[in-house]
């Protein structure tokens, strides 16, 4: 993200951008490697291919804010690896972290990992530190500390169905697990900021928030995310592209000021639910329109989104979620052109 883009984003999250909406997309391993013409394994294992793929996206589409920008990651394996999860990497499929908690009783034996030494985290951070001079030479900066959220990580360590069941049957064990994960994440974000002074934002992704009801969210989601968003940052960015109907109104109270939703709620519904206190990065359908639609489909959806938004000062045009696999350059350019109209 360039200095101008970062300044623009600060204006947007403070509701001060009142002219034509900006464009932004979350990009990471589901889209970027294959778009660049390499496998996911190439992307994860080669520093050169990783940075060149990111730089090509920035150069190809300078009109777009790519978030978080130069995301150093190993898919869903990144944070679970620090807890000792077995990580499975295929050549060109999404990696997977196997669960390590066989029963809620196992939680009492868990310790808080050291983000500076454990799992894949040292590789994530060292890649950013080593790439920082090249990123800055290209006119960009590393702006965000990034992680998956507590519930998301817990679902990999325990299993999603098992986590949901334990919320009802073993809530104390779930709280103990979430406390361990949250403290680990707090330290992980602090370490990223300590090593990369240009970081001024925090980005957390947690789709499991959208799988639980309001009562469970307030008990198992709200307090842990609120602690993480207490970390000082100018941009406090949250991604949950699962159903946010019961939780979104609490996001401003947690400290979030930028939100990437799915397509379960319209822009108007999101504005009403949050009192227009969130800047929205969204939300045309990612798979069916941005990836599979024609340029004409994209143009219609983008223009409709603009027309439906009563306050453009808190809108960054995007899709509902991260950039999905198989989005073509042609469709991205159609999106850009539609946003200019």
All structural domains of the chain = 3-340 (3.20.20.210)
- DSSP string spanning 199-228? --EEEEE-GGGGGS-HHHIIIIIHHHHHHH
The whole-angstrom separation of Cα 323 and Cα 45 is 21
Q: What is the mean pLDDT of residues 164-178?
A: 97
Length of the chain in terms of residues written: 341
Per-residue pLDDT tens for 201-216? 999 999 999 999 999 9
Per-residue pLDDT tens for 274-309? 999 999 999 999 999 999 999 999 999 999 999 999
Q: What is the mean pLDDT of residues 12-31?
A: 89
Instruction: Provide the phi-psi class of 81: left if phi over 0, else alpha when psi is between -120 and 50, else beta.
Output: alpha
Note the pLDDT of residue 312.
86
Give the residue from 271, 273, 266, 283 showing the smallest Cα distance to 314.
271
Is pLDDT above 90 for 193?
Answer: yes
User: Any idea which residue has 């944070």 for tokens?
Assistant: 79
Is pLDDT above 80 for 133?
Answer: yes
Is pLDDT above 90 for 44?
Answer: yes
Note if the bond before 68 is cis, omega within 30 degrees: yes
Per-residue tokens: 81: 């690896």
Per-residue pLDDT tens for 67-92? 999 999 999 999 999 999 999 999 99
Per-residue tokens: 201: 């934002």
Note the pLDDT of residue 18.
63
Residue 313's pLDDT band (boundaries 50, 70, 90)? confident
Give the Cα-Cα-Cα angle 157, 163, 168 (nearest 5 degrees). 155
């Amino acid at each position: 993200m360039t200095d101008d883009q970062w300044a623009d984003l600060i204006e947007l999250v403070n509701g001060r951008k009142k002219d034509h909406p900006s464009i932004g997309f979350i990009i990471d391993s589901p889209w970027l490697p294959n778009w660049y013409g390499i496998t996911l394994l190439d992307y994860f294992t080669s520093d050169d291919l990783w940075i060149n793929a990111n730089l090509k996206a920035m150069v190809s589409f300078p009109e777009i804010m790519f978030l978080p920008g130069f995301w150093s990651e190993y898919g869903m394996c990144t944070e679970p690896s620090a807890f000792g999860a077995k990580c499975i990497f295929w050549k060109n499929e999404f990696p997977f972290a196997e669960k390590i908690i066989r029963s809620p009783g196992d939680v009492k034996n868990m310790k808080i990992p050291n983000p500076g030494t454990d799992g894949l985290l040292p590789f994530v951070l060292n890649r950013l530190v080593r790439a920082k001079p090249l990123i800055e030479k290209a006119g960009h900066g590393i702006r965000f500390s990034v992680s998956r959220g507590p519930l998301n990580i817990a679902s990999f360590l325990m299993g999603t169905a098992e986590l949901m069941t334990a919320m009802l049957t073993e809530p104390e064990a779930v709280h103990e697990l979430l406390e361990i994960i949250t403290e680990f994440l707090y330290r992980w974000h602090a370490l990223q900021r300590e090593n990369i002074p240009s970081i001024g934002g925090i980005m957390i992704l947690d789709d499991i928030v959208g799988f639980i009801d309001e009562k469970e969210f307030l008990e198992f989601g709200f307090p842990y995310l609120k602690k993480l968003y207490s970390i000082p940052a100018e941009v406090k960015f949250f991604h949950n592209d699962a159903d946010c109907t019961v939780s979104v109104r609490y996001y401003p109270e947690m400290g979030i000021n930028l939100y990437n939703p799915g397509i379960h709620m319209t822009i108007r519904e999101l504005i009403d639910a949050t009192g227009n206190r969130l800047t929205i990065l969204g939300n045309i359908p990612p798979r069916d329109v941005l990836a599979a639609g024609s340029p004409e489909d994209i143009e219609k959806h983008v223009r409709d989104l603009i027309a439906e938004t009563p306050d453009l000062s808190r809108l960054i045009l995007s899709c509902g979620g991260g950039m999905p696999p198989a989005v073509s350059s042609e469709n991205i350019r159609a999106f850009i052109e539609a946003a200019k109209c």
